């Protein structure tokens, strides 16, 4: 699994209207993303294409900080 | 595993027809202008064709079939198999295939049956057609596939109304000794049957004056009754991300074909984000991966032949091509096929 910094860079690349460099591991996800259905789908698709991991909408809702999401994705990627 | 090959079957023609009436998602009032843009860019549907009340899938398929018979100079008398794949049949009973057999003037010696499948239906139905014809007893068959989904979507449901479009298609198949194999990989997971469902109107929940027409607010922006399509987008999305790529990889391995050997991957037009994710996972070049979702929306079982008629008409008519088709969704049901075509009659998309 890649580092959290690289994880964040790739997330910033996926969401075009997002300024780069603003997101940190401790960033609270809700303050940066609206989890409407389309953004959630974009995120789920991104994680699946990049890391071959499938996460659910609940996984997104239950992750408070980007670090939490990174931990979840990397644990699933390592388990696969 | 349901992985198998069928020899000696050739696709002679593919035609698609759509209603004239075009609806733009830029006019959909339940989405703000910004939401419309995001939807069009991400889900990929800008315009859709919508059947007027009373126009059935069989009407669209009929026109497509007539144009194939005329273009191929086939006699209706010689058609001995008709399969109609749809989830929007004319009546609860009888089957629509028989109605089409009569309307098209096919002989009484013709086998006619319906198959109730949606997104995976083109691939599944092709396997049934092929199996019934491969012995050579039946030389010519018509495979009629499509859906009118818009009758069953609620205008007040943002998760379905802007997604679906209507289309009917016809594919002409013939027995031809020596035609190269079609190879299939077909799968099912009925545990997910509720992921795309119209709950009322069948025998389980028969139409009820009190219950079926009552509008319910499921969540913000999702208001519908029990005759409307209910779509659990997240469930279907995750299912497709999980299952489609492995299904395709297993099929290619079985058939001894590499991804690079395929000229075109024609996928069910589910949702652009989902389809692009599958494309990127499999590392398929964009030029080999045509779309019709922008102009026609998600056309359910019609999406694969409609995409061919919309984007590849002249190429499929003039060249030998190696295809992979893949359909996935309602059921949950999914499947892929690899096959070769050689100069297929394919007229422009018909409007009625």
pLDDT tens digits, residue range B266-276? 999 999 999 99
- Domain A4-79 sits in CATH 3.90.79.10: no
Q: Is residue B173 within 8 Å of B130, Cβ to Cβ? A: yes
Mean pLDDT along residues B227-246: 94
DSSP state of A28: B
B204: which residues sit within 8 A by CB, 6+ positions away? none
pLDDT band at B204, cuts 50/70/90?
very high
pLDDT band at A60, cuts 50/70/90?
confident
Q: Residues B319-324: contacts with CB within 8 Å, 24+ apart?
A: B319/B343, B321/B263, B321/B264, B322/B257, B322/B261, B322/B262, B322/B263, B323/B262, B323/B263, B323/B264, B323/B265, B323/B266, B324/B248, B324/B251, B324/B252, B324/B262, B324/B264, B324/B265, B324/B266
Q: Is residue B64 within 8 Å of B16, Cβ to Cβ? A: yes
Mean pLDDT along residues B48-62: 97
CA distances from residue B269 to A44, A61, A66, B112 in whole angstroms, order as listed: 19, 28, 32, 27
Q: How far apart are CA B46 and CA B165, in angstroms?
A: 11
Which of A36, A41, A47 to mutate to test binding with chain B, by most B CBs within 10 Å of its CB?
A: A41
ipTM of the prediction = 0.85
Which residues in A lie closer than 8 A to residue B39 (C-beta atoms)?
38
Q: Which residue has the higher pLDDT, A58 or B134?
A: B134
CA atoms within 13 A on the CB side of B110: 26
Mean pLDDT along residues B305-314: 97
Has residue A80 got a pLDDT over 70? no
Which of B39, B231, B273 to mutate to test binding with chain A, by most A CBs within 10 Å of its CB?
A: B273
- Chain B positions contacting chain A at CB under 8 Å are 38-39, 42-43, 159, 233-234, 237-238, 241-242, 273-274, 276-277, 280-281
Query: What's the angle, vertex CA B4, arms to CA B285 and CA B250, rounded to 5?
Result: 40
Q: How far apart are CA B318 and CA B58, in angstroms?
A: 29
Q: Where are the domains of chain A?
A: 4-79
pLDDT band at B39, cuts 50/70/90?
very high
Predicted pLDDT of residue B76: 98
Size (chain A), residues? 80
Alpha helices, DSSP H only, in chain B? 33-42, 57-72, 96-103, 121-133, 233-255, 272-282, 293-296, 303-311, 313-318
Predicted pLDDT of residue A21: 78
Q: Do B39 and A52 touch (CB under 8 A)?
A: no
**Strand B81-85, strand B111-115: pairing:** parallel
Q: Do A44 and B42 touch (CB under 8 A)?
A: no
Structure tokens at B122: 């083109």
Q: How far apart are CA B318 and CA B197, in angstroms?
A: 40
Q: Is residue B39 within 8 Å of B162, Cβ to Cβ? A: yes
Please name each of the domains of chain B with its CATH number: 1-352 (3.40.47.10)
């Amino acid at each position: 699994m890649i580092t959290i910094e690289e994880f964040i860079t790739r997330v910033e690349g996926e969401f075009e209207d997002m300024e780069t460099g603003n997101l940190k591991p401790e960033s609270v996800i809700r303050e940066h993303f609206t989890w409407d259905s389309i953004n959630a789908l974009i995120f789920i698709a991104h994680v699946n294409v990049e890391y071959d991991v499938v996460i659910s909408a609940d996984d997104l809702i239950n992750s408070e900080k980007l670090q939490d999401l990174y931990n979840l994705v990397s644990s699933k990627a390592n388990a696969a | 595993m349901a992985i198998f090959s069928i020899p000696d079957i050739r696709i002679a023609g593919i035609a698609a027809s759509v209603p004239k009436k075009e609806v733009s998602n830029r006019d959909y009032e339940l989405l703000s202008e910004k939401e419309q843009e995001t939807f069009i860019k991400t889900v990929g549907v800008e315009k859709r064709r919508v059947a007027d009340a009373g126009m059935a899938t069989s009407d669209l398929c009929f026109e497509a079939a007539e144009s194939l018979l005329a273009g191929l100079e086939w006699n209706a008398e010689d058609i001995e198999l008709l399969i109609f794949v749809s989830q929007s049949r004319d009546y609860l009973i009888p089957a629509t295939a028989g109605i089409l057999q009569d309307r098209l003037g096919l002989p009484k010696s013709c086998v006619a049956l319906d198959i109730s499948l949606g997104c995976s239906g083109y691939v599944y139905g092709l396997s049934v057609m092929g199996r019934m014809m491969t012995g050579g007893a039946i030389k010519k068959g018509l495979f009629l596939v499509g859906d009118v989904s818009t009758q069953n979507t609620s205008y007040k449901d943002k998760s379905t109304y802007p997604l679906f479009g209507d289309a009917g298609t016809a594919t002409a198949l013939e027995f031809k000794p020596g035609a190269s194999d079609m190879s299939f990989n077909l799968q099912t997971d009925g545990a997910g049957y509720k992921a795309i469902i119209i709950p009322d109107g069948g025998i389980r929940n028969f139409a009820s004056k009190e219950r079926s027409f009552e509008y319910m607010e499921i969540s913000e922006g999702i208001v519908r009754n029990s005759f409307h399509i209910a779509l659990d987008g997240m469930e279907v999305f995750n299912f497709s991300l999980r299952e489609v790529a492995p299904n395709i990889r297993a099929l290619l391995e079985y058939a001894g074909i590499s991804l690079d050997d395929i000229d075109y991957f024609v996928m069910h037009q589910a949702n652009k984000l989902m389809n692009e994710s599958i494309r990127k996972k499999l590392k398929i070049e964009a030029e080999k991966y045509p779309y019709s979702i922008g102009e026609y929306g998600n056309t359910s079982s019609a999406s694969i032949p409609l995409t061919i008629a919309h984007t590849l008409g002249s190429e499929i008519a003039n060249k030998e091509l190696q295809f992979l088709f893949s359909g996935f969704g309602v059921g949950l049901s999914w499947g892929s096929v690899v096959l070769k075509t050689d100069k297929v009659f394919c007229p422009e998309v018909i409007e009625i």
